[in-house]
Chains A and B, each alone.
Chain A
């Protein structure tokens, strides 16, 4: 039995459908992420799990028990709020002690657990500080400690890292992974930040307009997006409109208007005649002199129109014969040794027949 299960959950606000018939199961010990743009319904789902909102139809079950009649304060799960929601009139230790008091834990036991939890988030020296005296990262850790101190079955995290700067964010990501692994508590994490979702999660549900577009492991989501939305939302990708001409063994023959035919791996059950898009990541594209990569089946000539140097890699925007632009990535493994191209250079781009995929939706 899954730890948490959503069965056909829908939530409407007036005529707006925030969550539309969503079903998912989350297993004990999982780091599960709801990923999507703002307004996709991910926060609504989190608030329904916490009990601050209720589904119009459908059920939310914890250990097989319907939660509908359980108010938020009686659910064995806690939330780390986006604004942290630390109580400003209570010290750090008092904030962390709050859920233990509510659960009527004995005073001596409370003191011990608060001390341990403070140690776990390395804030022992801040026990008597007031929340406003702490930095953003420290407040974040107090919010985590407060939600974890009485060992909830499930921890809900609502964009908890959104307010932190880049460096601190990466550090907190590491700490979250460590905490989750050490405590074994199930995390349900909400974010709109896709690199974060990829880095942290065991499984990701990509959401859009109230639907789950794809639910998979991070690597599958990245390598095999199910449709245009997921492909576009996760990472950078080239999307070229095309028609499926034929299936040949384990390969597809695709026709791209103005570019002719290309070969792609056969991941789908789509039948010849179907239109769709050919999706391929910039790092799968090989860029070289017009003479290079003649051995690859998919190869086109083009001109470099823009380039974006970002230290570790350089992204080239190449204009192909039919006016289409595609992006190709070149890793700067040995800066200076690897061949560079300038804007206006004639180049060739090529990719193997097993790279990229055909999206029929």
Chain B
């Protein structure tokens, strides 16, 4: 029994200690830093004699712009999630209808672009949406027919959304496919047998039963989009600032670390709330499915 306990300790301790030191402790430091004053030359001011303060929290609520940026980030995350569901659903549904040996191949095809570096994937859209490129020219020619002024596609909110959807789409396809693949084909047969047409079969059977997959996928898209700074940075214009850009700016630009820490903390709380919500919904559904 003693060797048993020793083994257990030897296996558990190293990863546990590593994560406590390099994940839990830094997270606590962020909480502490949000209650400090900024240093004269950036970073944090010395604890003695400055001490702790609620200054950064007061500052956050003093200007409506910060809350607006949070709301905008939530909106962008929601919109990206919605578009991902729209694009992922037909693809995932089609893959489940393929013969078994084709399915793994198709899933691999969906995952592969996702395996390339995400900067490259964003950069690809820089090329495509660039003003001299065929796609931009085609869109503006089309708009011209309707007498609409040419638009700039790159460095716009549109480009940001496209980038967000493109980068996160596989996160939606995979859980959705995993869910749809477990559906018993007899459910659809039964629904049809009992009088449901194609439309009713989708909305009364397939869709409600796929909700756990939708919730899981939505969490996997919504959360990273919420904190993303690189895509607005590269594809967005000067005004397209999200929470991630704001945090990055505090740490690497203006070097107001306490405020950066406060923003991170708010972001963390929102993420936890979203995750808890997604888990609750999918668990409620899981009892059924």
Q: Are B194 and A50 in contact (CB under 8 A)?
A: no
- Residues 53 to 107 of chain A near chain B (Cβ within 8 Å): 71-74, 78-79, 81-83, 85-89, 98-99, 102-103
Q: Are B190 and A81 in contact (CB under 8 A)?
A: yes
Q: Are A78 and B193 in contact (CB under 8 A)?
A: yes
Q: Are B189 and A85 in contact (CB under 8 A)?
A: yes
Chain B, residues 191-225, CB within 8 Å of chain A (1/0): the string is 11111110010001100110000000000000000
Chain A residues closer than 8 Å to B189, beta-carbon distance: 50, 52, 72, 79, 81, 85
Q: Are B208 and A79 in contact (CB under 8 A)?
A: no
- Select A89's contact among B190, B197, B208, beta carbons within 8 Å: B208
- Select A102's contact among B187, B196, B289, beta carbons within 8 Å: B196
Q: Are B288 and A89 in contact (CB under 8 A)?
A: yes
Q: Are A85 and B184 in contact (CB under 8 A)?
A: yes
Q: Are B209 and A79 in contact (CB under 8 A)?
A: no
Residue of B nearest to A104 (CB): B195
Most buried by B among A71, A86, A87, A147: A87
Say whether, besides A85-B186, A87-B187, A88-B288, A73 and B209 are in contact (CB < 8 Å).
no
A interface size (C-beta, 8 A): 26
Residue of A nearest to B193 (CB): A79
Q: Are B288 and A130 in contact (CB under 8 A)?
A: yes
Is B8 in contact with chain A by the CB < 8 A criterion? no
Chain A residues closer than 8 Å to B200, beta-carbon distance: 102
Q: Are B194 and A98 in contact (CB under 8 A)?
A: yes
Residue of A nearest to B194 (CB): A99
Chain B residues closer than 8 Å to A150, beta-carbon distance: 195
Is A317 in contact with chain B by the CB < 8 A criterion? no
Say whether, besides A83-B184, A88-B289, A89-B289, A73 and B204 are in contact (CB < 8 Å).
no
- Provide the bound-state CA to CA distance between A71 and B287, in Å: 33
Chain B residues closer than 8 Å to A132, beta-carbon distance: 288
Q: Return A80 CB to nearest CB of chain B, in Å.
A: 9
Chain A residues closer than 8 Å to B208, beta-carbon distance: 89
Q: Return A235 CB to nearest CB of chain B, in Å.
A: 32
- Provide the bound-state CA to CA distance between A98 and B191, in Å: 8
Q: Are A85 and B190 in contact (CB under 8 A)?
A: yes
Q: Return B113 CB to nearest CB of chain A, in Å.
A: 33
Chain B residues closer than 8 Å to A211, beta-carbon distance: none
Chain A residues closer than 8 Å to B204, beta-carbon distance: 98
Q: Are B192 and A72 in contact (CB under 8 A)?
A: yes
Q: Are A102 and B287 in contact (CB under 8 A)?
A: no
Chain A residues closer than 8 Å to B191, beta-carbon distance: 87, 98
- Residues 273 to 298 of chain A near chain B (Cβ within 8 Å): none
- Provide the bound-state CA to CA distance between A52 and B192, in Å: 9
Q: Are B196 and A73 in contact (CB under 8 A)?
A: yes
Q: Return A174 CB to nearest CB of chain B, in Å.
A: 25
Q: Return A4 CB to nearest CB of chain B, in Å.
A: 16
- Provide the bound-state CA to CA distance between A209 and B191, in Å: 30
- Select A87's contact among B190, B192, B195, B287, beta carbons within 8 Å: B190
Q: Are A81 and B186 in contact (CB under 8 A)?
A: yes
Q: Return B189 CB to nearest CB of chain A, in Å.
A: 6
Most buried by A among B192, B208, B289: B192
Chain B residues closer than 8 Å to A226, beta-carbon distance: none
- Provide the bound-state CA to CA distance between A146 and B187, in Å: 13
Chain B residues closer than 8 Å to A78, beta-carbon distance: 193-194
Q: Return A162 CB to nearest CB of chain B, in Å.
A: 14
- Provide the bound-state CA to CA distance between A85 and B194, in Å: 12
- Provide the bound-state CA to CA distance between A81 and B288, in Å: 20
- Provide the bound-state CA to CA distance between A81 and B194, in Å: 12
Chain A residues closer than 8 Å to B288, beta-carbon distance: 88-89, 130, 132
Q: Return A190 CB to nearest CB of chain B, in Å.
A: 14
Q: Are B194 and A147 in contact (CB under 8 A)?
A: yes
Chain B residues closer than 8 Å to A99, beta-carbon distance: 194-195
Q: Return A145 CB to nearest CB of chain B, in Å.
A: 12
Q: Are A71 and B192 in contact (CB under 8 A)?
A: yes
Chain B residues closer than 8 Å to A52, beta-carbon distance: 189, 192-193
Q: Are A73 and B187 in contact (CB under 8 A)?
A: no
Q: Are A146 and B186 in contact (CB under 8 A)?
A: no
Q: Return A281 CB to nearest CB of chain B, in Å.
A: 39
Q: Are B195 and A102 in contact (CB under 8 A)?
A: yes
Chain A residues closer than 8 Å to B192, beta-carbon distance: 51-52, 71-73
Chain A, residues 327-357, CB within 8 Å of chain B (1/0): the string is 0000000000000000000000000000000
Can you list 30 residue pairs at the A/B interface with Cβ under 8 Å?
A50-B193, A51-B192, A52-B193, A71-B197, A72-B189, A72-B192, A73-B195, A73-B196, A74-B195, A81-B186, A82-B186, A83-B184, A83-B186, A85-B184, A85-B186, A85-B190, A87-B191, A87-B205, A87-B209, A88-B288, A88-B289, A89-B285, A98-B204, A99-B194, A102-B194, A103-B195, A130-B288, A132-B288, A147-B193, A147-B194
**Which 8 interchain pairs have the tightest Cβ spacing?**
A102-B195, A85-B186, A99-B194, A85-B190, A72-B192, A79-B193, A89-B288, A73-B192
Interface contacts beyond A79-B190, A87-B209, A130-B288: sample of 16 additional A-B pairs, CB < 8 Å, sorted by A: A51-B193, A71-B192, A73-B195, A81-B190, A83-B186, A85-B186, A85-B189, A87-B187, A88-B289, A89-B209, A89-B289, A98-B194, A98-B196, A102-B196, A103-B195, A146-B190
